[in-house]
Amino acid sequence: MNGRERGRKLRDLVFADYAAKQVARRPNSVRPGDIGRPCTRSLWYAVHWADKLERFEGRMLRLFETGHSQEDRLLSDLRRVGGEVIARDPNNAADQIRIVTLSGHMKGYLDSVVGNLPFSTSDWVVGECKTHSDKSFKAIETDGVEVAKPEHHAQMQIYMGQHNIDEAIYCAVNKNTDDLYFEFVPFNKTYYDRLLHKADLVAFSPTPPAKINERPEFYLCKMCKARDVCHGGEFPERSCRTCKECRPVRNQVLPV
């Protein structure tokens, strides 16, 4: 083998190690990062472990790792301009700042809470960091986060509502150019209440909500991990969550 061929072999070995070490997990609660998705039924399937367990190739796992590393850089950018960034739980520095609601059936972790941020209308803001492809980044620049990334917008609404904070700062980086996009997002109490109602339905409904569309070829359904169960009548993998006798517990806080 020549040098290029051996290099490709080395690349494949690195990606294979990423893939071999991944731990595929199902969600044990409703995730704030998902609650803004348009199909409530797909969320119900995910929380009840009735969709396909997703595993990723090594390249994608490395890309996710890159996204996590960019979070620290974005928070450092906020510190550069005088922001007081809190990225860990003040009561336990080993943990992120978290939210737990709906008797433990909705849980999530904040990237940060930021004080004294220039141009903010609030003493403290929720800081949310995301990485984007060039196409996705340009869409946010054109339309704003609420239109271009409704899941991210909903996620911030949950975090603001749970921490009684009136504003969030959305921090985005273009992975192609390293350009930055910041947007101050106000808290919307009406929308927040709708999201909590939606999460309650996902967590506690004994049966799946209505389909978003009756056609399996509908664009949101074609790539859905629950498509075969939802549209094809396939039985999900057997587990405690897919048992017909499974009943979520209300008014009893579950372990975090």
Per-residue pLDDT reduced to its tens digit, 75-88: 999 999 999 999 98
- In this predicted model, what pLDDT tens digit does every residue of 54-107 receive, in sequence order? 889 999 999 999 888 899 999 999 999 999 999 988 878 778 899 999 988 999
Q: What is the pLDDT of residues 160-208, one digit of tens each?
A: 999 999 999 999 999 999 999 999 999 999 999 999 999 999 999 989 9
- Per DSSP, the three-state class of 136 is helix
* pLDDT, tens only, 122-141: 999 999 999 999 999 999 99
Dihedral in degrees, nearest 10, Cα atoms 211, 212, 217, 220: -130
Within a 13 Å sphere around the CA of 17, how many CA atoms are in the beta-carbon half? 5
Written as six digits, the tokens of 123 are 């003493």
Q: What's the angle, vertex CA 203, arms to CA 113 and CA 187, rounded to 5?
A: 30
Secondary structure letter of residue 244 according to DSSP: T
Q: Which tokens belong to 243?
A: 């048992």
Q: Quick check: 13 and 131 in contact, CB under 8 A?
A: no
- What mean pLDDT comes out for the span 108-133? 96
Q: Which helix (H) or strand (E) holds 183?
A: strand 180-186
